[in-house]
Amino acid sequence: MSLTRRQFSAAAATAAAVAHSTRDAVAQPAGGEAPSAGAAPDVPVHDMSSMPAHWMGAEQIAFLIYPQFTALDMVGPHHMLTGLMGATVHLVAKTRDPVRSDTGLVIVPSLTLDECPRDLDLICVPGGTRGTLAAMEDDETMRFLKDRGSRAKHVTSVCTGSLLLGAAGLLAGYRATSHWATRSLLPIFGATPVDGRVVDDRNRITGGGVTAGIDFGLALVGRLRDRLYAESVQLIAEYDPKPPYSAGSPAQAPAGVRTLVDGMFTDFVTQAGNVGRAAFAKFGRT
């Protein structure tokens, strides 16, 4: 289910009006009597006058995508951030040609690197494995990220996208997170690693691995609007996760699962460390 911004405007305005009217009704019941159980406040369905002015923004938001990135790193927060009324969300790549993710999902960019606005309110970089290493070695991609990231009001990433931010010199002196398998690499870039699904340090906001991007995106909605707005977005998305297994973090996963998955990342972590150091020396220190 996907709502247009106009539909969300009506829904959000109604939610705000209901919330405020309900509080007023409880605090000052008509005639001194408590409202009857189940009584609904008399609120016009499309009364836009109840919408707080700050709920309408004009943010320029860009997701940097590249071949073999992890689609869910982008799609989760993209779903949340496109719920920001007034915001413009761009999918930016080297060309406008379709970009294939690491699972084969094909995404069509809306802008090229050159077409992307120079001054962004928010830039977000999704992660990946081999695709992320290739992006760190791509001069054009890294120059773009360093340039836009140096001026953006919010510099953000999901999963191993933080390695790209770090390689561009955008995390030095900041607390940050990444996928659990690569979090220990962040000191290469002068960052302090933190175990968390969403780590917020001034205007650097980083998300943990893959599904953490949904929490990350929702947290940004709350930061850019307010809690009531974010909770409305959450309810529209019916985001109420109850996973069938409890193995979603190294701390929770059974020992055998952790050993198995750890082994899958050994080579990648070594390569990411080598590529990250080279990229940081080239882009991060200049």
Q: Which of 51, 84, 116, 159 is catalytic?
A: 159
In a domain, 275, yes or no: yes
For residue 12, is it within any domain? no
Q: What total number of domains does the chain contain?
A: 1
Task: Please indicate, yes or no, if residue 195 is contained in any of the structural domains.
Answer: yes
Question: Do residues 131 and 69 lie in contact, with contact meaning Cβ atoms separated by under 8 Å?
Answer: yes
Q: What is the pLDDT of residues 84-126, one digit of tens each?
A: 999 999 999 999 999 999 999 999 999 999 999 999 999 999 9
* Rounded-to-integer distance, Cα 178 and Cα 253, Å: 18
The mean of the pLDDT values for the chain is 89
CA distance 266 to 24: 58
Question: Is residue 11, in this structure, part of any structural domain at all?
Answer: no
Does some domain include residue 226? yes
Q: What is the pTM of this model?
A: 0.86
* 116 is an active site residue: no
- Whether 198 maps to a domain, the answer reads yes
CATH no. for residue 228?
3.40.50.880
Radius of gyration of the CA atoms of the chain, in A: 21
Q: What mean pLDDT is predicted for residues 154-165?
A: 98
Residue 202 lies in a domain: yes
DSSP-H helix ranges across the chain: 5-27, 71-81, 130-136, 139-151, 161-167, 212-224, 227-236, 255-279
Question: Could you tell me the residue range of the domain that residue 232 belongs to?
Answer: 59-238+262-284
**Residues in CB range of 177: below 8 A, 6 or more apart:** 162, 183, 186, 193, 194, 195, 196, 197, 198, 199, 206, 207, 208
